[in-house]
Amino acid sequence: MPPNPPQRDHSFSWAIEQFILANLLMNAIDANRRPVIEEAIVCYRNVLQVVTREENPEAWANVQMNLGTAFTHRIRGDRSQNVENAIDCYEKVLEVWTKEAAPLEWATLQINLGNAFTDRIGGDRSRNMENAIECYEKALEVQTKEAAPLHWAAVQMNLGNALQYRIEGDRRQNVENAIECYEKALEVRTKEAAPLDWAKVQMNLGNAFKNRVGGDRSRNVENAIECYEKALEVWTKEAAPLNWATVQMNLGTAFTDRIGRDRSRNVENAIECYEKALEVRTKEGAPLGWAKVQMNLGNAFTDRIEGERSQNVGNAIECYEEALEVWTKEAAPLEWGTVQMNLGTAFTDRIGGDRRQNVENAIECYEKALEVRTKEAALLEWATVQMNLGTALQYRMGGDRSRNVENAIECYEKALEVWTKEAAPLDWATVLMNLGTAFRKRIGGDRRQNVENAIECYEKALEVRTKEAAPLDWATVQINLGTAFTDRIGGDRSRNVENAIECYEKALGVWTKKAAPLNWGTLHVNLGTAFTDRIGGNRSQNVERAIECYEKALEVRTKEAAPRDWAKVQLHLGNAFTDRIGGDRSRNVENAIDCNEKALEVWTYEAAPLE
């Protein structure tokens, strides 16, 4: 530790010694920098006991500048206070270093002050970013590309970072400005001249392309992937493990967001990237970064197409639960809420384990998420959780069935308070489809009105979910709408059945046997039932159409793959043969008996007494 100054004999020579020692200590900073910086701070403060602004403003400003830098690098003490101290030092220097009197020093100071505002924890975050941007732009008034190309490039990158995460102003324009800054920085920071700086700009540029609002979304993601892969040419695991891991995580996110090419391959690439990141981002070494990768890896397993679905969902649940070991409600409430929501979705999708318990776990996760994702604090996230909770309640096996459906309806209606057709048309349509299904399954209230509400919801959903824009979703709504018309009590019965048939036939235009065999089979069962119930048209022809539909359904609903569904179709087919007008009557009856006997192979008295 440096000696205390002599009693009131604050000689200028002693102050110079202290200043030189402090600078030497700062230049000796290494990985274990804590004690070195503490000594340097003491030395700079000792100098300031001798060197005053009034007597020697230039020297005083120089010491304040260096002291600010020391506080910026300080590890010991409160991080927030260290940054405040740095800002205080830099602002004092500005009292002496004006643009006119010392342009180069003034520009350097503006950069340092901008960095401090960027790192600032206290105060208003939006205001801090505005201050940082202002500082960087001032620095560029002096540090031009022609006069100081390296410094100019450094400021362009810092300004790009500030603009990318700017809160005020137009989001789209901010990101565009950030991209422009990074591309300017790359004019000087080339791979050949400054490989490490080049890699850093490439990563930041990749982030900007990933977050870009304007332009073609697919092209933006491709640009992001290209930037990250360039960064990895320099930031190898051996040379820069922490940066390598960061890029791997960002690259994984970009592969997850990728629109073009093979979706399955993209998800596999994302999983590979996240698993690589975990080689460096360990729970012990970087718990927060580790938790973030675990959450992203869980999301990738949730989306995974390859491999066994049950195992993928199991892996996702494991990743989310790992993340929650670090992201507790107390330590990281927002992240905790996000993981709880994702974990709830994984439990909803879970194939293994007890189905009843999985749904209960999902409900518990969503309710936990709502403890932090309130309508006031996180409007959009609150709406997402409400929708997911509604779906879990709708399919809940435990508890009172009627109460569960009522709760589901309440959740969907809450989500619609936020997701309007104007503000979020796709989400609005999704909620309406789910709400329609809840009304259709509703036990309480007037049955006639419930079905009418369901039809209204489905028809509204079709205003957004068109065949052109979202063919699979459109087909899903069509089959649900067809089912609602089948269940309809009000209106003309004949018209209702015709509407149902029309809906099912529309859905078959998308859900082909090759593209969606299970859905294709379900549609044929429903369509067969509609032809059985049909009042209009030729009765004999209707029954023939019904038989044809049921027989098609049995092509995919086999006894081995779906025994209960197979038995149900056999029963319907048997009834159709009983009602058959055409053909040999004796043969029809034999076929009906054969179908019913097949159904009884699955629907035994012990297994299904009601059936």
Cβ proximity of 194 and 202 under 8 Å? no
Q: Are 443 and 402 in contact (CB under 8 A)?
A: yes
Q: What is the rounded distance in angstroms from the CA atom of residue 165 to the CA atom of residue 282?
A: 27
Taking Cα atoms as reference points, which of 483, 404, 395 lies closest to residue 444? 404
Q: Select the more confidently predicted residue: 562 or 389.
A: 389
Across the chain, mean pLDDT equals 94
Q: Give the mean pLDDT of 437-460.
A: 96
Q: Which residues contact 304 (CB under 8 A, 6 or more apart)?
A: 267, 268, 271, 312
CB 158 within 8 A of CB 118: yes
pLDDT-derived band at 33, boundaries 50, 70, 90: low
Residue 3 has a pLDDT of 47
For residue 325, give both structure tokens. Answer: 């070991």
Distance CA 436, CA 106 (A): 64
H or E element, residue 367: helix 355-372
* Of 354, 295, 292, residue with least CA distance to 321: 295
pLDDT digits (tens, 9 = 90+) for 469-495: 999 999 999 999 999 999 999 899 999
Predicted pLDDT at 351: 87
Could you tell me the end-to-end alpha-carbon distance of the chain, in angstroms, rounded to an integer? 88
pLDDT score at 32: 54
Q: What is the pLDDT of residue 5?
A: 47
Residue 29 binned pLDDT confidence (cut-offs 50, 70, 90): low
591 pLDDT tier (thresholds 50, 70, 90): very high
Residues above pLDDT 90, as percent of the chain: 89
Alpha-carbon gap, residue 600 to 540, rounded angstroms: 27
Residue 514 dihedral angles phi and psi, to the nearest 5°: -75, -40
- Contact at 8 Å (CB) between 22 and 40? yes
Q: Examine the pLDDT at 610 and tell me if it is beyond 80.
A: no
pLDDT tens, residue by residue, 44-75: 999 999 999 999 999 999 999 999 999 999 98
Residues 6+ apart with CB under 8 A from 211: 164, 175
What is the C-alpha separation between 79 and 73, in angstroms, rounded?
Answer: 10
Q: Kindly report the three-state secondary structure assignment for every residue of 429-482.
A: HHHHHHHHHHHHHCCCCCHHHHHHHHHHHHHHHCCCCCCCCCHHHHHHHHHHHH
| Residue position matching structure tokens 């503000």 | 423
Q: pLDDT class for 261, splitting at 50, 70, 90?
A: confident
Residue 121 above 70 pLDDT? yes
Burial profile 36-74: b = 16 or more Cβ within 10 angstroms, e = fewer: bbbbbbbbbebbbebbeeeeeeebbbbbbbbbbbbbbbb
- Checking 67-71 for CB contacts under 8 A at 24+ apart, the result is 67/41, 68/93, 68/112, 68/116, 69/26, 69/112, 70/22, 70/26, 70/37, 70/40, 70/41, 70/44, 71/41
pLDDT at 2: 45
Q: Is the pLDDT of residue 122 over 60?
A: yes
The answer to whether the CB of 114 falls within 8 A of the CB of 132 is: yes
Distance CA 338, CA 295 (A): 9
Query: In this predicted model, what pLDDT tens digit does every residue of 170-218 receive, in sequence order?
Result: 999 999 999 999 999 999 999 999 999 999 999 999 999 999 999 999 9
pLDDT for residue 10: 53
**Band of pLDDT at residue 456, cut at 50, 70 and 90:** very high
